[in-house]
Structure 1
């Protein structure tokens, strides 16, 4: 009888404590914005992140990647202008959002280049249009400490808004 009470007491103590299991989701990204500029970071390859900036006044989007092999060496820089891709009227005042997501592409690899591990999304909240851009990253150039330049490549476009909004 005493043993049974002991087992019951131990079971009661164990069952009264909630599980402390916590789901950890590793996220290494940041973003911020002002009235005229947005910035975010995202993984380019396993050794480096890129700094993505979007100038609201000009529509210029760029990805700046520090040289991880030579800190004094030139950085890599990729650019594009989002105004045409988002079909924005140049006389309007767009309201941009900038987000960076992780994407490990299975296809599209060649000997010299593959898409980087990030996709940068630009959304115009006035029209609802969005564009996703990829980075043509060359790991072999980065591993030698070389700088890369080029255009950010639109890989997908769409609209987040399902109805047209008319101005009064």
Structure 2
């Protein structure tokens, strides 16, 4: 009888040990990857979007349809306040735009060379399209992570990295 209890106890201990090892291994294999989501919303006169600047920080992008001003604000890691401000007028990049301009804006990820040093381009691209003309431009934000880490103010302008038109790319039936 004693041998029978010892055998059951030994099997139970071995089973618990194997279960714990499998659980620990399975948890490591099935760890869920981080998801990064961006948001975009627009109204009659402006659009607003978010996009990654660095691994752990986003910018809030704002496009005023009436003036063409594209702006960004970045929250500081240290104090939780807006300390990064950037501005650029996109009207100079769009030819023969109707009055009023009909802009669309979204953000996307880009694995562009970011450069070295404290100032690097952000990880997100900002795409601005003008619906009447079919023109589109892509912009990046030069971001100084050292200034952000120290809590210092930073400001600047966007950099246009691409420009084109989608209007002539459509095939029309004759």
Shorter chain as denominator, the TM-score bin is 0.7 to 0.9
For the residues of structure 1 that align with 2:106 and 2:96, how far apart are their CA atoms? 19
Return the offset for 1:141.
Answer: 1.4
Name the Cα RMSD after superposition: 2.2
Verify: 1:86 aligned to 2:89, yes or no: no
Stretches of 4+ aligned residues off by more than 6 angstroms: none
Partner of 2:37: 28
TM-score normalised by structure 1 residue count: 0.75
- Normalized per residue, the structure richer in helix is 2
Return the offset for 1:131.
Answer: 0.7
For the residues of structure 1 that align with 2:71 and 2:64, how far apart are their CA atoms? 9
Residues 123 and 130 in structure 1, CA contact (< 8 A), matched pair in contact too: yes
Alignment: residue pair count: 139
Which consecutive unaligned segments of at least 5 residues does structure 1 have?
A: 1-23
Query: Which of the numbers 88, 91, 97 marks the counterpart of 2:104?
Result: 97
Which consecutive unaligned segments of at least 5 residues does structure 2 have?
A: 1-32
Question: Which protein shows a greater Rg?
Answer: 2
Return the offset for 1:112.
Answer: 2.9
Return the offset for 1:110.
Answer: 2.9
Partner of 1:141: 147
